[in-house]
Chain A
Amino acid sequence: MTQPSYRIERATRSSTIGLAVLGLGLIGLLLLPLTGDRATMRLIVEIAYFLALAQMWNLLAGYAGLLSVGQHAFIGFGGYMLFALVAHAGFSPIYSLPIAGLLSGLISIPVAILMFRLSGPYFAIGTWVVAEVFKLAFFEVPALGGGSGMSLPLQAVRDIAPSAQGRELIIYISALAIAVASVVAVYALLRSRYGLALTAIRDSERASASVGVDTFRLKLGVFVAVAAFTGMIGALIFLQKLRISPVAAFDVMEWSAAIIFIVVIGGIGRIEGPFVGIAIFFLLRETTSDFGAWYLILLGLLAIAIMLFARQGIWGLIADRYRINVFPVERQVHLDDHRQRQASSTSLTPTSEKH
Chain B
Amino acid sequence: MTKKQELSRRQVLGGLAGTAAIPALASPALAQNNSLKIGFVQPETGPLAEVASGNAFVLENLRQALAGGLQVDGGQTRNVEIVVRDSQSNSNRASEVAADLILGEEVDIMCAAIHPLTVTPVADQCELNGVPLISSITPWETQFYGRGATDDAPFSYQLHQFWGFGEITNTFIDIWNQLDTNKVVGGLWPNNPDGVGFAQGFTPILEERGFTVIDPGRYQDLTDDFSAIIRMFLENEVEIVTGVVLPPDWTTFWTQAAQQGLSVKAATTAAALAFPGTAEQLGPLAQNHSFDLFWHPSFPFESSVTGQSAADYAAAFEEQTGRQWIQPIGTVHSVFETAIDALKRSGGGDWEATREAMFATNLNTIQGPIVAGSGPVPNAVITPLTGAQWRQSDGPFDFEAVIVSNIAADGVDAGGTVQATA
What residues of chain A have their CB less than 8 Å away from a CB belonging to chain B? 24, 28, 31, 35, 37-40, 42, 46, 139, 146-154, 157-158, 164, 240-243, 245, 247-248, 251, 254, 292-293
Q: Does B398 contact A (CB under 8 A)?
A: no
Residues from chain B with a CB closer than 8 A to the CB of A164 are 128-130
Whether the pair B104, A39 counts as a contact (CB closer than 8 A) is yes
Partner of A42, one of B19, B92, B99, B148: B99
Whether the pair B95, A241 counts as a contact (CB closer than 8 A) is yes
Residues from chain B with a CB closer than 8 A to the CB of A28 are 16, 19
Partner of B192, one of A42, A148, A242: A148
What are 13 of the A-B contact pairs (CB < 8 Å)? A35-B20, A39-B104, A40-B23, A42-B103, A46-B96, A151-B120, A164-B129, A240-B99, A242-B121, A243-B124, A247-B91, A248-B91, A248-B92
Whether the pair B193, A35 counts as a contact (CB closer than 8 A) is no
A254 to B104, CA, bound (A): 22
A139 to B128, CA, bound (A): 26
Partner of A245, one of B19, B27, B103, B193: B193
Whether A35 contacts B92 in the complex (CB less than 8 A), given A148-B193, A152-B124, A245-B193, comes out as: no
Whether the pair B142, A243 counts as a contact (CB closer than 8 A) is no
Whether A148 contacts B23 in the complex (CB less than 8 A), given A164-B129, A254-B90, comes out as: no
Residues from chain A with a CB closer than 8 A to the CB of B127 are 154
A-B contact count (CB 8 A): 92
Q: Which of A28, A40, A148 has the most CB of B within 10 A?
A: A148
Q: Does B65 contact A (CB under 8 A)?
A: no
Whether A251 contacts B45 in the complex (CB less than 8 A), given A40-B23, A242-B125, comes out as: no
Identity of the chain B residue whose Cβ is nearest the Cβ of A46 in the assembled complex: B96
Whether the pair A147, B196 counts as a contact (CB closer than 8 A) is yes
Partner of B95, one of A150, A243, A293: A243
For residue A278, give the distance in angstroms from its CB to the closest CB of chain B: 17
Whether the pair B103, A39 counts as a contact (CB closer than 8 A) is yes
Q: Which of A35, A139, A146, A241 has the most CB of B within 10 A?
A: A241
Q: Does B375 contact A (CB under 8 A)?
A: no
Residues from chain B with a CB closer than 8 A to the CB of A24 are 12, 16
For residue B172, give the distance in angstroms from its CB to the closest CB of chain A: 21
Whether the pair B100, A42 counts as a contact (CB closer than 8 A) is yes
Whether A242 contacts B193 in the complex (CB less than 8 A), given A42-B100, A151-B147, comes out as: no
Partner of A154, one of B45, B116, B128: B128
For residue B170, give the distance in angstroms from its CB to the closest CB of chain A: 23
Whether the pair B23, A35 counts as a contact (CB closer than 8 A) is yes
Residues from chain B with a CB closer than 8 A to the CB of A42 are 99-100, 103
Partner of B196, one of A40, A146, A151, A243: A146
Partner of B24, one of A31, A35, A46, A146: A35
Interface residues of B in 80-104 (CB under 8 A from A): 86, 90-92, 95-96, 99-100, 103-104
Residues from chain B with a CB closer than 8 A to the CB of A38 are 103-104
Partner of A149, one of B16, B26, B91, B96: B91
Interface residues of B in 360-383 (CB under 8 A from A): none
Beyond A39-B104, A42-B103, A251-B92, 16 extra complex contacts between A and B, CB < 8 Å: A31-B20, A37-B23, A147-B190, A147-B193, A148-B197, A149-B91, A150-B148, A151-B120, A151-B148, A164-B128, A241-B92, A241-B95, A243-B120, A245-B193, A247-B192, A292-B86
Q: Which of B99, B116, B129 has the most CB of A within 10 A?
A: B99
Q: Does B218 contact A (CB under 8 A)?
A: yes
Residues from chain B with a CB closer than 8 A to the CB of A293 are 45
Whether A242 contacts B103 in the complex (CB less than 8 A), given A40-B23, A147-B191, comes out as: no
Q: Per-residue CB proximity of B126-138 to A under 8 Å, as 1/0?
A: 0111100000000
Residues from chain A with a CB closer than 8 A to the CB of B148 are 150-151, 153
Residues from chain A with a CB closer than 8 A to the CB of B116 are 148
Residues from chain A with a CB closer than 8 A to the CB of B330 are none
Whether the pair B218, A147 counts as a contact (CB closer than 8 A) is yes
Identity of the chain A residue whose Cβ is nearest the Cβ of B85 in the assembled complex: A290
Identity of the chain B residue whose Cβ is nearest the Cβ of A87 in the assembled complex: B148
Whether A157 contacts B128 in the complex (CB less than 8 A), given A37-B27, A147-B218, comes out as: yes
Residues from chain A with a CB closer than 8 A to the CB of B147 are 151
For residue B346, give the distance in angstroms from its CB to the closest CB of chain A: 20
For residue B82, give the distance in angstroms from its CB to the closest CB of chain A: 16
Identity of the chain A residue whose Cβ is nearest the Cβ of B156 in the assembled complex: A154
Identity of the chain A residue whose Cβ is nearest the Cβ of B24 in the assembled complex: A35
Q: Does B146 contact A (CB under 8 A)?
A: yes
Partner of A148, one of B121, B130, B142: B142
Q: Does B384 contact A (CB under 8 A)?
A: no
Interface residues of B in 104-146 (CB under 8 A from A): 104, 116-117, 120-121, 124-125, 127-130, 142, 146
Residues from chain A with a CB closer than 8 A to the CB of B120 are 149, 151, 243
Partner of B91, one of A37, A152, A243: A243
A150 to B44, CA, bound (A): 24
Identity of the chain B residue whose Cβ is nearest the Cβ of A153 in the assembled complex: B148
A38 to B127, CA, bound (A): 17
Identity of the chain A residue whose Cβ is nearest the Cβ of B191 in the assembled complex: A147
A270 to B54, CA, bound (A): 48
A66 to B380, CA, bound (A): 51
A39 to B28, CA, bound (A): 12
Residues from chain B with a CB closer than 8 A to the CB of A158 are 128
Identity of the chain B residue whose Cβ is nearest the Cβ of A157 in the assembled complex: B128
Whether A139 contacts B191 in the complex (CB less than 8 A), given A24-B12, A39-B104, A154-B124, comes out as: yes
A24 to B19, CA, bound (A): 13
Residues from chain A with a CB closer than 8 A to the CB of B27 are 37
For residue B234, give the distance in angstroms from its CB to the closest CB of chain A: 27
